[in-house]
């Protein structure tokens, strides 16, 4: 289900309702690996620890990610990070987009 909100005749936003997702620990393995952003010049890696997906960066504390809807997670730290994984036409994970207080939909490509 999608709702379209019109600001005026030339501008509108579309909001899509997603079903809450509660993955099993084994489902999270698909997201593990290393990802690089050429725009931001940095790399993140993801692991599964104690049944939670965690992200790691060389300059930041590692954080657990909490599922929101399929392929989407949010962090629970003092800086909220929203991560949406992307897939290719064959439905294989190929990267993610990240948004926080300073970056909006920063693109990261899977490198391993």
Would you call 112 helix, strand, or coil by DSSP? coil
The whole-number pLDDT of residue 60 equals 80
**Single pTM value for the model:** 0.78
The whole-number pLDDT of residue 3 equals 43
User: Do residues 54 and 102 make contact, with C-beta atoms less than 8 angstroms apart?
Assistant: no
The whole-number pLDDT of residue 105 equals 87
Cβ neighbours around 16 below 10 Å, total: 9
* Ranges under pLDDT 70 in the chain: 1-18, 77-79
Q: What is the DSSP string of 9-50?
A: TTEEEEEE--------GGGGGGG-EEEEETTTTEEEEEEEET
21-110 placed in CATH 1.10.8.100: no
The whole-number pLDDT of residue 83 equals 92
């Amino acid at each position: 289900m999608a709702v379209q909100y019109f600001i005026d005749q030339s501008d509108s936003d579309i909001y899509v309702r997603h079903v809450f997702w509660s993955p099993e620990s084994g489902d999270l393995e698909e997201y593990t690996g290393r990802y690089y952003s050429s725009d931001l010049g940095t790399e993140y890696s993801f692991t599964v620890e104690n049944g939670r997906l965690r992200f790691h960066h060389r300059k930041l504390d590692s954080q657990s990610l909490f599922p929101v809807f399929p392929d989407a997670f949010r962090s629970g730290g003092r800086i909220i990070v929203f991560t949406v994984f992307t897939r290719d036409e064959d439905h294989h994970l190929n990267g993610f987009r990240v948004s926080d207080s300073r970056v909006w939909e920063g693109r990261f490509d899977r490198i391993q």
